[in-house]
Amino acid sequence: MMHGYGMGGFFGLGLFDLIVIIALFLILIWVIKGNNRNNDRQPEDRALGILNERLAKGEISEEEYERLREKIGN
């Protein structure tokens, strides 16, 4: 006797449904962790990147670049 559960088990979920739900959950975790990688960079790394861009654009001189680079610790 099936007691009304049918082929889907107790909650109406089959094995395939459970696999899909677990896969979606793992993909969601992977996407969230991937987005945090950019935020994990040290502030000094970002500051040096901005400093390099300013030098490349000609917004600051080489002397100013060296002074600021020493100030941020790189």
pLDDT in tens, 24-71: 999 998 888 876 665 555 767 888 999 999 999 999 999 999 999 999
Judge if 48 and 23 occupy the same domain: no
- In the block, residue with structure tokens 């030098």: 55
Residue 72 lies in a domain: yes
What's the pLDDT at 73? 81
Residue 54 lies in a domain: yes
Taken in order 54, 56, 59, 60, the sign of the CA dihedral is: positive
| pTM: predicted TM-score of the whole model, two decimal places | 0.43
CA gap 74, 55 in Å, rounded: 15
Tell me the mean pLDDT in the region 2-16. 61
**Domain ranges, residue 21:** 1-29
On whether residue 67 sits in a domain, the answer given is yes
Whether residues 52 and 74 share a domain: the answer is: yes
Q: Please count the structural domains in the chain.
A: 2
CA angle 3, 5, 8 (to 5 degrees): 155
